[in-house]
Amino acid sequence: MTVIPLFPLGTVLLPGGSLTLQIFEPRYVALLADLLAAQDEHPPDFGVVAIRRGFEVGEQAAPQLHEVGCLARIRQAADLGDQRYVVVAEGRDRFVLGDLTSHAGKPYLQAEVQLLPETGGELPSLALAGRLREEVAAYRRSLGAEHVESPESSEEVSYWLPDVVELGLEERQSILAAPRTEDRLRLALRIVRRERGLTASLRTRGRPPDGPMSPN
């Protein structure tokens, strides 16, 4: 188990994804200061975990959290003045959340986490990744949206769907929490095929697609 600072959010960060945060609450200003002060000793990493129920900020914030989160590494941090900052972070490894802890008098939440290895059969994953690329391309064509290049590796493709199909928090969390690359690819295939079917159904009825079927 590793102890890391934790940032509960009302969104899901995926490996390879980008996250922009506006930081102003004192506890998270302190978290940022500690990470930047120690970055010569270790990477400025913190844990992002989606809130299952509750709120992320405020004195009474006591959110219930999802069990699987994503390690985030700070890439840029800009001081806006008046104790306000903008931070850009990149999603790294997944982790399983362990015990929450207050450590060394820090005002922000910390947690014991277990990093999750990426697992999956190479050949099945390659085939599934190819199918997902085809389904996404067909889906975007059905919307008249421009083609987007997919990542190269099967692992990266397994986290790709939220970049090209608008998904809600629970589906993003399901993708993050899928235990293997193959499982994640199969889940993404089911989702994009469902969205294609909904698009076709709405077009048959003469209605334009909207809501979760946005290609952006």
The ranges assigned to domains in the chain are 2-115, 122-213
Confidence of residue 215 (pLDDT cuts 50, 70, 90): very low
Which residue, 94, 92, 103, is CA-closest to 42? 92
Which residue, 100, 104, 38, 44, is CA-closest to 69? 100
Report the Cα 20 to chain-centroid distance in Å: 12
User: What CATH number matches the domain at 2-115, 3.30.460.80, 1.20.120.160, 1.10.10.10, 2.30.130.40?
Assistant: 2.30.130.40
117 neighbors 49 (Cβ within 8 angstroms): no
209 neighbors 143 (Cβ within 8 angstroms): yes
Task: In whole angstroms, give the CA distance from residue 56 to residue 133.
Answer: 35
67 neighbors 96 (Cβ within 8 angstroms): yes
Task: In whole angstroms, give the CA distance from residue 36 to residue 39.
Answer: 5
pLDDT at position 91 over 60: yes
The 10s digit of each residue's pLDDT in 164-199 is: 999 999 999 999 999 999 999 999 999 999 999 888
The 10s digit of each residue's pLDDT in 32-81 is: 999 999 999 999 999 999 999 765 544 545 578 999 999 999 999 999 99
User: Would strands 64-65 and 18-23 be described as parallel, antiparallel, or unpaired?
Assistant: unpaired
Token pair listed for 205: 């009825």
- Give SS3 for 164: helix
pLDDT at residue 214 in the model = 45
Token pair listed for 209: 């697609």
pLDDT at residue 191 in the model = 97
For range 105-121, the mean pLDDT: 89
The overall average pLDDT reported for the chain is 89
